[in-house]
Structure 1
Amino acid sequence: MNVFAVPGLPEVRPGDDLAALVEAQADLRDDDVLLVASTVVSKAEGRRADLEDFPAGPRAREIAERLEAISGEEKDPRFAQAVLEESTEIIVEAPFLLTATKFGHVGVNAGIDRSNVGGAGDGEASDDGADLLLLPERPSESAARIRENLDSDPAVVVTDTSGRPFRHGQRGVAIGWAGIPASRDWRGEEDRDGHELEVTVEAVVDELAAAANLVTGEGDGGLPVAVVRDWEFGDHEGSDNLYRDVDGDFVRQALRGWEFARD
């Protein structure tokens, strides 16, 4: 399998055709997997916003005051309001906001980004005052649109970066996909000792997103798109179930009853 970043993409602006921009720089094949960072998808879909778009309500002000008291750093209640409006649930309110987005992803601050917002085309603040970048509203639909507009027929995965419970650091994850199942199911197959696998379901879109993140990077490199080539899904059953059902998400249920307490 080969993984490579697509160089030469311009600053993406609202209304841009991401498929055309990518195909101008890369010779894609039908069996490729195209991985596109959510930042450029959001920019093309006009998901940049200004803090002034989110006048803070009472709960947002309360959350900001608590986080400010914990961290000793000033917190803008308008940002808390943006997180509230982009979320279906605030799972943890302190010492940070862990939320469930409207499309099912769980992450910090509803995935709202305050870096690489872009707009001016020179790496500085945007030219329209926008200082927030919201995640795509429906990332799998975004992936499907990109795929439909390509001349070739690769699978498309929209990626983001997020932290992991129990580990330091961030890694790439999939938040939307088209043309590929989210996971491949090994259940019913046998291991080398002849034991039947009972629980192994491999989240391949997350693994591909993490591989892409190795070549696209996290800083100012300007490489938001990667291609995975010569990888095969294999002869497995596939599933689009990536996000756990709330009723079976025991970690989420435990966190709902957890309260942050400073020493």
Structure 2
Amino acid sequence: MTGLEVTAPDGLPEITAESDLAALIAASTDLVDGDIVVVTSKVISKAEGRVRAGGRDDALAEETLRVVARRGATVIVRNRLGLTMAAAGIDASNVEAGSIALLPLDPDASARALRTRLHELTGAVLAVLVTDTAGRAWREGQTDIAIGAAGLRVAEDFAGRVDAYGNDLVVTLPAVADEIAGAADLVQGKLGARPVAVVRGRADLVLPTGEDGPGATSLIRPDGADLFGYGAREAVIRALAGTEADQLPFGEPVDPSSLIEAIGRVHLSGWISAALTDDDEPTSLDLEIAGIPDERVVAAVCFAHGWRLANWQHGESGVVARVSPTTP
């Protein structure tokens, strides 16, 4: 039989930049080897002086790398930590009215510092997670995820293993740090004034003292590798605008046949033929497009698929277009 124990102490005082967070955690818990200490990012932000007067809009620009999607007043961005969140993760809850909390400058570093201090105070070999609340595509509601980690294997790689039925596991990669964050949130509660939790029962994930592991940053998919780099509406606008700085989230250039197929899906009135200008590497591609295609539409499709429209010439039966792959 296996089990998981999650506890969250009551009675922690309001945390400020003058608080000794590690000492308060050590005094309110009974930490032992193998424990995972889970702390909300809000408390880390308070301890690190990341709370200030103002509203979300006042800090949104400085916390944003790029806009992912907009719907009315809601703005989803990829923030300076690489996390994709509403309003860049800036929060106005559980702080004084008229104030906002910014995410920690470096949540992994915050987790490492707290882990070191807790070990000094308790002698326990433990891990630390810094968590924040995030929504999920295609799912209602929110759940907590790990945005900082130290001393923890944040994911378990099952690729290459075989299940009980003999099936090969190819891409199975449980993000255990996020699963632990969600379990801790169930006990902490959003309004329970319990920003710290201790998860016990997964000591196998805890690394030895001196080994901090890859951190929660390793769970962030690189920009351009995500299939959903833009929201549906934003993707249309970005592709039509064709600004070079917007290219990366669309990913690497597709192969020529995929590009031709994509153009054919929007240009339904005629055939398309293609010839590579270089047999070894598709440095450019000459397309013959029958009918009267819309140059701007073709350019947008090329842009969204990692190619650039380099030349456009009208012929007797259609258009000859030369396109080249970009390097995001």
**TM-score range, shorter-chain basis?**
0.7 to 0.9
Query: Is the CA contact 1:185–1:239 (under 8 Å) kept in the aligned structure 2?
Result: no
Please state if 1:30 is matched with 2:8. Answer: no
Q: Which has the higher contact order (CA 8 A, sep 6+)?
A: 1
| The structure with more radius of gyration | 2
SS of 1:145's equivalent in the other structure is helix
Q: Return the alpha-carbon distance in structure 2 between the equivalents of residues 132 and 189 of structure 1.
A: 46
Q: Return the alpha-carbon distance in structure 1 between the equivalents of residues 83 and 45 of structure 2.
A: 16
- Corresponding residue number in structure 2 for 1:12: 15
Q: What is the TM-score when the length of structure 2 is the normalising length?
A: 0.64
1:94 to 47, 63, 71: 71
Q: What is the TM-score when the length of structure 1 is the normalising length?
A: 0.79
- Corresponding residue number in structure 1 for 2:102: 134
- Corresponding residue number in structure 2 for 1:162: 134
Q: How far off is 1:239 after superposition?
A: 6.0
- Corresponding residue number in structure 2 for 1:114: 92
- Corresponding residue number in structure 2 for 1:229: 200
SS of 2:221's equivalent in the other structure is coil
Letter in structure 1 aligned against 2:184: A
Unaligned runs of 5+ in 1: 52-77, 119-124
Query: Is the CA contact 1:97–1:109 (under 8 Å) kept in the aligned structure 2?
Result: yes
Relative to 1, partners in 2 of residues 1:258 and 1:114: Cα closer, same or farther, differing over 3 Å?
A: farther
Letter in structure 2 aligned against 1:211: A
Higher mean C-alpha displacement, 140-149 vs 87-96: 87-96
Relative to 1, partners in 2 of residues 1:80 and 1:234: Cα closer, same or farther, differing over 3 Å?
A: closer
Relative to 1, partners in 2 of residues 1:196 and 1:94: Cα closer, same or farther, differing over 3 Å?
A: same
Q: Return the alpha-carbon distance in structure 1 between the equivalents of residues 11 and 17 of structure 2.
A: 18
Letter in structure 2 aligned against 1:143: A
- Corresponding residue number in structure 1 for 2:225: 248
SS of 2:156's equivalent in the other structure is strand
Query: Is the CA contact 1:173–1:205 (under 8 Å) kept in the aligned structure 2?
Result: yes
User: How many residues are treated as equivalent by the alignment?
Assistant: 220
- Corresponding residue number in structure 2 for 1:189: 161
Give the 5 Å matches for 1:166-181: 166-181=138-153
1:199 to 158, 171, 190: 171
Letter in structure 1 aligned against 2:50: R
Q: Return the alpha-carbon distance in structure 2 between the equivalents of residues 79 and 12 of structure 1.
A: 21
Q: Which runs of 4+ in 1 moved over 4 A?
A: 253-256
Q: Return the alpha-carbon distance in structure 1 between the equivalents of residues 134 and 126 of structure 2.
A: 25
Q: How far off is 1:109 after superposition?
A: 0.5
The CA RMSD over aligned residues, in Å, is: 1.9
1:158-194 per-residue CA deviation (whole Å, 9 max, x = no partner) reads 0111111111111111100000122110101111111
Higher mean C-alpha displacement, 132-141 vs 12-21: 12-21
Percent of residue pairs identical = 40
- Corresponding residue number in structure 2 for 1:84: 61
Query: Is the CA contact 1:184–1:239 (under 8 Å) kept in the aligned structure 2?
Result: no
Unaligned runs of 5+ in 2: 207-212, 238-328
